[in-house]
Structures are given as C-alpha cells and as structure tokens.
A and B are shown apart, each in its own frame.
Chain A
Amino acid sequence: MSAAIELVGLSFSYPNADEPVFEEASIAIEEGAFAVLAGPTGSGKTTLLRLLKPEIAPAGAISGERRMFGRDVADLTARESAETIAFVFQDPANQIVCDTVWHELAFGLENLGMPTDEMRLRVAETCTYLGIGPWFRMRCEELSGGQQQVLALASALTMRPRLILLDEPTSMLDPVAEKEFLSLLFRANRELGTTVVVATHKAGIYRSYATEAWRIEGMRIEHVGFDELVQPHAQIASQPSFADDARTILLDDAWFRYRRGGEWVLRGFDLAVAKGETCALIGGNGSGKSTVLSLIAGIGKPQRGRCTNRLAASQAFLPQNPKALLARETVAEELGEWAPTCGYGDAEVAGALERIGLSGKRASHPYDLSGGQQQLLALEKLLLARPGLLLLDEPTKGLDASAAEAVALRLEEARAGGTTIVIASHDLSLVRRLGASVTLLFDGQASATLPCDAFFERSWLLGT
C-alpha cells in the first residue's frame, strides 16, 4: 500500500519572503493514520496543509516531491482532489457556504454534478452515521459553533474522502464541543479508515486519538513522541484580597431576557467585583456569560434587580472577534485612533507596538496579522485608552499558547496598574494563570463564586 502523504525534499518560499518556510523537509504518513502536526505559530503548519490540497495551495516557489496516495499532487484534477482530500478550516462560520444544513451537506456533491439518488444516499447515511439527522432542516445559523464544525466535518464526509486535512479545527470551540468533535473525527478515522492530519497548537487533547505526531521546526518536519508536545498546567497565580465594602460592580438579583415571551437568561444573578479585582465568569455555552458582560457594560438593563457599575465612564470592551474593533488601514493608525480623545501620542503608540512585538508591522493592514496578533492589537488599543474597567469576552479563543500567554501578560500588567478586569471565558488555564476569582454561571444564576485557588480545589470536574 502506498503512503497517504509522502513529501521528499520539499522546499517552499512565499514570493518576496526573506527566508523559505520549508527547506528540504520530508514527511511520510501511512494510509489510515491519525497524525498530529504541531509547531509554533508562523512555523508553516497551515502552509503545509494547503500545499497538500492543490486548489488552495499558496503561491510561491516550490520544489521537491509531493505525492498523495502514490500520485503527484500537481497531477490531481480538481475533481480527484475534491473526491480524495477534504479540508476542514479553523473558523466554523466562514467555511459554511449555504444557509440550510441540508444544502450545505449537498454542496460538494452538487459541485461534482452527482446524480440525485447518489446524493440522497450519501447525505442520508452521513447524517445517520454522525447522528445529526435532527439538524437536517435547520438553518446553519441556528447551530452553535461546535455544531457548525461538526457540520463541516459531515460535509467533508459526504465526499467519501481518503484523507481529511484539518487546520486547528477545535480552537474556536468550547471544551465540551471540542471533545464531541474529536470523538466524531476519531470514529471517521478508526471505523472508516480515513487518514486524518490535524495541524494544532494544542497537541495534548489529541493524545488518546493520534497514532503519530510531527513537529515543524526550523523549516523541517520531524517525527516526535507525544510527550514532547504536551505542556504542563500553569501555576495558580495569587491575587491580593479585597475589602468587601469596596464593591465597584454590583449585580443584585438581576433577571434578564432578550425578548418578551423569551426564556430568562439570567434568573436572579448576583455578582460583586471590587476595584482592581480580576473576575472570571465561566460556564457552558448559552449560560449567560456574554449577557452578564453586556449588562455590566450598560448595553442592556436588567428587567428585575439592579446592576451598578461605578466605572461605567472609563470602561473598555473586547468583543469575541477582535475584527469588530479594527477598522483602520494600518496597525499604527489603529492604535492611534483614540489618541486625540484619550490624550496619548506617537510615543505611546510606538511603546505599545514594542510591547506586543509589532514594531516591524506598523504599516501593515490589521487583517494581514495572524489571529493572535489581531487579538493583541485590539487589546492594546483598548489599554491605550487607560480604562478603569476592562471587559473581555473569550480573550484567548482561537489563540495558540504563546499568543494566549502574551494576552495573559498584558492583562497582568493592566491589573498591576489598577484596572478592574471581568473575563467571560471557557479557558480555565487563563483563569488559573491570572488567579482570577471564579464565578460559575449555571441556570442563570451564580452557582458558585470563589477565589481562584478555592475553586480549583473544590471543583472535582472542572478543577483538573
């Protein structure tokens, strides 16, 4: 049997780039393998995956042998590539094309001009196999992010691929959705024999599924053991204690729903945050974390109970997607947007660029930055306004370990400067890292509010 992927002496460089992404790199993955491809941000994980899929391969100078299932990649026709190699992207929302689930499932088959009865069989068997039949007539927008990513996997499986390439497929998902997605991917690999190659910065979560691991380093790809990729837990940071009377943000018996006749999202929610404190809101999807943030920000008002925020005049809000904050032509202009109203100048902007390591990219368009850099840029832009209160919605979503660490560092510095911070997040390692006091949202209430160390000590399921 020929190898699913075989690269020999691969060299690749982007046009006008100073140095190549790969030089004499080689990799061989057998058919049926579940391979994890690790490496720091910018090391070329995405580039490598794309070089294996001719339609979306980046432009640049390439040399060396690229063979898939014994065939030269350059010889694959668009049809053969679509039928053999599936690709699942990072962002669930951006890769969905159609508005309804059934149309999305059929999209790839329609592209190949497949006859109706074959399409009906494939769509039906895929839905049955993955257990997503109930979604069939739903609109894609009604699905959660995790469900959308499962839909992307399902759409890939309708094509009956021999190989699935996945680029950070779970980095936008919450921990529960992540595990569900991985278990389905695992089934496709073991039961269907589909070869799986995942590029990820969180290799640890694949430990029980993957059969082999590779790491990109120094323009080469090396075969590595799993233990080399797994990172240990961060230590719980300590946070000074706060006087109970200095409550700066107070939600008292807050009830909130979005529509008349809708369900209550918050059912008597209580929260008190002291000046200078860092508070983390954790909880499942739809538990109301973002709603609490919007009440604190004054975007919504509780329909019962009260919400006071003594820092309402100097707050800053980082939305889930940093793109909502970015609207200028260059990175430097972006940071300078609020300079006239906030009273900072070019020196502060230069300092900010230095802090987030983007001095060399001051003239780049913000959209040319990586996701992690965009997040840091948006955060830095808010911090330049010197907010007394920082509200963050999933600040580490989609970030790799080093970018998440950079965000955590900036938050620590802001806290040292006296900023009060409220974070809504699924990322417990960030919570641990910041030593934030934890409020667990469940059923619209604060089921537990504890200091960081006490939370991780007392919670059996979430504290690991």
Chain B
Amino acid sequence: MDKAAFQTFHPAVPAVLFAGIIALTMFGLEPHLVGASLVSATLFALATQGVATALDKLRWQLPLLFLICIINPLYSANGTTLLFKLGRFYIYAESLAYGLVMGALLIAVLMWIEGMAYVVGHDELLALGRGALPTISLMASMTMRLVPQLVRRASSVRTALDATTASGANGDGKAARVRVMDALMSWALEDSLERGDAMRARGWGASARRSSYDAHPFRLRDLVALTVVVCLIVLAAACVRAIMGGWNFYPSMTGTSEIAALVPAVLLYVLPLAVLAVERIRWELLP
C-alpha cells in the first residue's frame, strides 16, 4: 500500500492529522492511550513500508524500549508493589510500568513522525506556507537543494585528496578538514554569483510581489476533511486531558476515567489506517 490515498487531499489535511496524533501521543502518558497509539503506529508502518522495513526498525526500537524501561526503576524508586531487590536498588512494579509506558510513547512518537514524513514530503510541507510566504518558501526550497549539494561536494573534495596519494599529504587531521571547508566555501560563493545572475535574468525582483505556483488546489472536499480532523483532535484532546487528570502511576496505578473517554483518541490514532483501508477497499470494488 502507498500514500496514494493521502495524495488526493490537500497536504494540509494529512499534515494537521499527523501533527494532532503526534501531539496527543506525547501528552497522553497513560498505558491504554500509549498502547493504542503504538499499535496503530506499528500497523501503519507495516501497511506503508512493508514487513521487512518495519522489522528492520525493531533493531533500534527494542533496545530503546528496554533501556528506558530499566533505567527508570533504577533512578526513581517509587511505587507500592515491590517486585525484587537488585543490589542497592528496590524495583517496584509501578516504576517499571512507568518506564515501559514512557519508552513505548517515545517509540510511538518517532514512528508517527516517520509516518508523517512518508505521507507529507518536504515538497508538500513547503506548499503549506507558499501562499502566505512565497520568499521564505523559496529560500527553504533552495536550502533543500543546496545542502545535499554541499555534502556531495565535500565528498568529492575528500575523494580527490584521498585518491591523490602522490601528494604525500596526510588526508586526516584538523588541517585536512579545514582545507576541505576552505575549498567548499570558495566553491559555494563562486556558484552563488552565477546563481544570482541566473535568478535576476529570470525576473527576480522585477515585481514588488511574487506569486506562487500552487500544485495542490484547496477544494471543498479538503475543507470538509480538515474540519472533521480538527474536530476529532479537539474532542480527543479534551478526553486525553480528562484521562490524564485522573491517572496516577504512583503510589499505585489508578485511573478514574470511563473507558468511553478513550474512544476519540483511539479513533484519531486509527484514522490514518482507516484512510489506507478505505482506499484499498475502493480499489478492490472497482468494476
């Protein structure tokens, strides 16, 4: 499955949806909320990136989870249910659970950010600011192009020096790095003169106000979708706030909220998956 389903919306819709999910995941430090977010994020990653990539990611996710999970009990000896004693450390179930939930939250947030980057590319992100700030958005566009170019050139300078063994010059050390920087700076400055000319030749500064080419028109359908997403985020935020107000890890894990309060947040977390699923079903139903 791919991002085709999201491409039919103006980029603002998925951008707001994912931003809402990421924010609520960060603030909803409660086992059910975090669990729902992590499961949804994992399913979304599986659906969009495939099993192999998702399994590959476990290589950093599991150690991270384990690390946060064991570090928390070592540092914060809180709670009422003593599990065991490790040397000088008292390990409580509550602090272990806190670490586990915290680690899961971190992983869920990172996975959602990856999911967002996958659906809303930098090009679409820039499109969001284009109408209001054409010049800033142009600068961002130039930066996106020039930074990778600089990195590639740095490697070409280093390659040229490393490959010229006859020079007897040492390719390592501070002097060599300064030399690479020197070469890159003069090179970039020189190019910027020519690029400046190219820009002026194409009417840069010829008009008081730049306009902006919009590859993503904002239609009524986008407005409806955006309204639904924003309403869901607001509702879910209110519920998450209520849940967090009644939830404690210490001294013992207790909550006062109804299960129903979880529903809006869970709906929000599964919405990206639902979008993928609807697109898939529509495709299957095609005559």
A residues lining the B interface (CB < 8 Å): 53, 55-56, 77-79, 81-83, 86-87, 89, 91, 93-100, 102-103, 105-116, 119-120, 123, 137, 139-141, 155-156, 159, 294, 297-299, 312-321, 323-327, 337-338, 341-342, 367, 382, 385-388, 391
**How far apart sit A326 and B164, CA to CA, in the bound complex (Å)?**
13
B204: chain A residues within 8 A (beta carbon): 111
**Interface residue B183 (Cβ < 8 Å from any Cβ of A):** yes
A120 and B213 within 8 A (CB): yes
B64 within 8 A of A: no
Contact residues in B for A141 (Cβ distance below 8 Å): 145, 148-149
Chain A residues whose CB sits within 8 angstroms of the CB of B187 once the complex forms: 323-324
Contact between B134 and A110, CB atoms less than 8 A apart? yes
Q: Are A385 and B166 interface neighbours, CB within 8 A?
A: yes
In the complex, the answer to whether B145 meets A338 with C-beta atoms within 8 Å is: no
Min distance, Cβ B275 to any Cβ of chain A, angstroms: 21
B213 to chain A, nearest CB (A): 3
If A97-B195, A382-B166 touch, does A116 touch B153 (CB 8 Å cutoff)?
Answer: no
Question: Given A123-B213, A319-B156, do A327 and B144 touch, yes or no (CB 8 Å)?
Answer: no
Q: Please judge, given known A-B contacts A103-B213, A123-B213, A294-B159, whether A78 and B138 are in contact too, CB under 8 Å.
A: no
* Listed A/B pairs (28) with beta-carbon separation below 8 Å: A77-B206, A82-B206, A87-B201, A95-B194, A95-B198, A97-B138, A97-B202, A98-B141, A99-B144, A102-B215, A105-B213, A111-B204, A111-B210, A113-B210, A116-B213, A156-B202, A159-B202, A159-B203, A297-B163, A316-B163, A325-B157, A325-B160, A327-B179, A327-B180, A337-B169, A342-B166, A342-B167, A382-B164
The reply to whether B134 and A342 form a contact with Cβ atoms under 8 Å apart is: no
Bound Cα distance from A59 to B165, whole angstroms: 43
* Residue B208 at the chain A interface, CB threshold 8 Å: yes
Q: Does B8 contact A (CB under 8 A)?
A: no
A113-B209 contact in complex given A78-B203, A82-B203, A94-B198, C-beta closer than 8 Å: yes
A391–B204 Cα distance when bound, in Å, is 42
In the bound complex, CA of A105 to CA of B212 (Å): 12
CB distance from A281 to the nearest CB of B (A): 16
CB A144 to nearest CB in B, in angstroms, measures 15
Q: Do residues B168 and A324 form an inter-chain contact, with CB atoms below 8 A?
A: no
Residue of A whose beta carbon sits closest to that of B208: A113
Contacts of A367 in B (CB 8 A): 186, 190
Candidate in B166, B194, B207 with the most chain A CB atoms within 10 angstroms: B166
How many angstroms from the CA of A110 to the CA of B205 in the assembled complex? Answer: 10
Which B residues from 116 to 169 make CB contacts under 8 A with A? Answer: 123, 134, 138, 141-142, 144-145, 148-149, 153, 156-157, 159-169
Across the interface, do A109 and B142 meet the contact criterion of CB distance under 8 Å?
no
Nearest-CB residue, chain A, relative to B135: A110
B200 at the interface (CB under 8 A from A): yes
How far is the CB of B223 from the nearest CB of chain A, in Å? Answer: 18
Q: Are B205 and A78 neighbours in the complex by a CB distance under 8 Å? A: yes
Main secondary structure, interface of B, reads: helix
Given contacts A111-B210, A113-B207, contact A327 B159 (CB under 8 A): no
Contact A298 B144 (CB under 8 A): no
Q: A82-B202, A82-B203, A99-B141 are in contact. Are A338 and B159 (CB under 8 A)?
A: no
**Ordered nearest first, which 9 A-B pairs have the shortest CB separation?**
A82-B203, A341-B168, A106-B213, A317-B163, A99-B145, A95-B198, A387-B166, A108-B202, A327-B183
User: B169 contacts which chain A residues (CB < 8 A)?
Assistant: 337-338, 341
Q: How far is the CA of A100 from the CA of B23 in the complex (A)?
A: 30
Residues of B within 8 A of A82 (CB): 201-203, 206
A53→B168 contact, CB < 8 A: no
Is B202 in contact with A89, judged by CB distance below 8 angstroms? no
Question: Are the C-beta atoms of B213 and A102 separated by less than 8 Å?
Answer: yes
Kindly state the separation between the CA atoms of A326 and B134 in the bound complex, as whole angstroms.
Answer: 37
A114 touches B211 (CB 8 A): yes
> What is the bound-complex CA distance between A56 and B202, given in angstroms?
10
> In this assembly, does B83 line the interface, its C-beta being within 8 Å of a C-beta of chain A?
no
B199 within 8 A of A: yes
Q: Flag whether B114 is at the interface (Cβ < 8 A).
A: no
Residues 168 to 194 of chain B near chain A (Cβ within 8 Å): 168-169, 179-180, 182-183, 186-187, 190-191, 194
In the docked arrangement, what's the CA distance between A325 and B157, Å?
Answer: 7
Whether B156 and A321, one on each chain, are in contact in the complex, defined by CB atoms closer than 8 angstroms, is yes
Which residues of B have CB within 8 Å of A159?
Answer: 202-203
CB distance from B55 to the nearest CB of A (A): 15
The answer to whether A111 touches B194 (Cβ under 8 A) is no
Residue B2 at the A interface, CB < 8 A?
no
Pairwise interchain contact B164-A387, C-beta atoms closer than 8 A = yes
Residues A99 and B142 in contact, CB atoms below 8 Å apart = yes
Complex CA distance for A41 and B149, rounded to whole angstroms? 29
Q: Which residue of B lies closest to A312 (CB)?
A: B165
Partner of A314, one of B157, B165, B183, B207: B165
Q: How far is the CB of B118 from chain A (nearest CB, A)?
A: 16
Closest to B207 in A: A113
Bound together, the chains give a CA A110 to CA B208 distance in angstroms of 11
A89 contacts B164, C-beta separation under 8 Å: no
Beta-carbon contact of A93 and B149 below 8 Å? yes
